Amino acid sequence: MSLEEEDSSNELSPAAVPEATGGIRATIERVGIALTAILAVGMLAFILLDWLRTTPGALGETAAILFRGSLGIGAWLDGVLGTNVFQHPFTWRAIATGVLVGVVGPLVGTYLVHRQMALIGETLAHTAFAGVAFGMLFLAFAGGMLVGPIGNRGALLIVALIVSVLGALGLQWLTDRTDSYGDVPIAIVLTGSFAVGTLVISWSRDFVSLAIDIEDFLFGSLAIVTVEGARIVAVLSVAITALVVYNYKQFLFITFDEQAAKAARFNVDFYNALLIVMTAVVVVGAMQILGVILVAGLLVIPVAAASQVANSFRETLYLSILCGQLSVLGGLAIAIGAGLPPGGSIIVIAIGFYLLAIFLSDRSVGGLSLH
């Protein structure tokens, strides 16, 4: 064989270039998802140790030792970075909460975006705000009875969760039974729930004496992530992930062909209600970090970025989780390092990924589209 023939035989054919590129891309995505899963499990383990270390007996002692060891790693990290934040438990609780909502937010948001229900997240965020208002009112009257494992902040989140879920089910009922066009029911619930929240808060200011700044729930704050709040988010995140994995095919079916799903005698109303309730749960959990005003961005923006470059629904799901996770970690780094609000930092980074995805989707390498 001549030298020219040998060189030409080693060149990749045009058909092999997309295959090789796709293989590398798929490998990177799998590695990213695996690292995200490891990080999420690690954060769940931290919250679990934080929970168990207060229990009596050998279990509590072992958990306390492991918990102190994890804080020792944080102290070492502070020494390397020259900071004084990672050795404190509240920092890791906020990071753990952010990591978990960075997974379940895009996980649920992928279905919402593909079903053209992006405004649902914004609507349920305002419903959660009404839930916070009712929670503050509830604590003002029944605070003395809430001394227990959930604490005042935990009780506030639970009340907000209940109100948000009821609002989600009410929105589903209203959408199914109204003759209005388009997003009219969504607009009504969105403005109505926020109006109710503002009225309740204004009315209860004179006799509510809780040390809670409502602006923290509007714009997000690391300071409002408590032990109880982190535990609630951990439990809800595990439940939502399990539900999505178990019902993946059903959600996929009703997302792309709801009429065919009805013809196949799927309980479409049930799965629609389940999806909207999961959205409400995610909103309440993410509200601590992102705030009511910005929480919908975590449901929509990473999915919009992933949709620009993904080739399938499953790939969109993976890329949206990776984008959401990187946005959360980057936003928390900025918030901790510069003392800025975490919600705004996370959303700005997510928008940056979205713009980058648009740029990449319009580029080509060697004639090969990156779509």
Grade residue 10 by pLDDT with cuts at 50, 70 and 90: very low
Contact between 361 and 308 under an 8 Å Cβ cutoff? The reply is yes
Look up residue 30 and give its amino acid: R
- Mean residue pLDDT across the chain: 81
Look up residue 166 and give its amino acid: L
Partner residues linked to 368 by β-bridges: 365
158 SS3 class: helix
53-71 mean pLDDT: 87
Q: Which of 152, 144, 158, 149 is nearest to 54 (CA)?
A: 149
256-264 mean pLDDT: 81
Instruction: Write down the residue that tokens 């700044």 correspond to.
Output: 213
Q: Which pTM value belongs to this model? A: 0.84
Give the per-residue pLDDT at 346.
Answer: 92
86 SS3 class: coil
- The domains found in the chain, sorted by start residue, are 12-52+88-369 (1.10.3470.10)
Give the per-residue pLDDT at 213.
Answer: 65
Give the per-residue pLDDT at 42.
Answer: 92
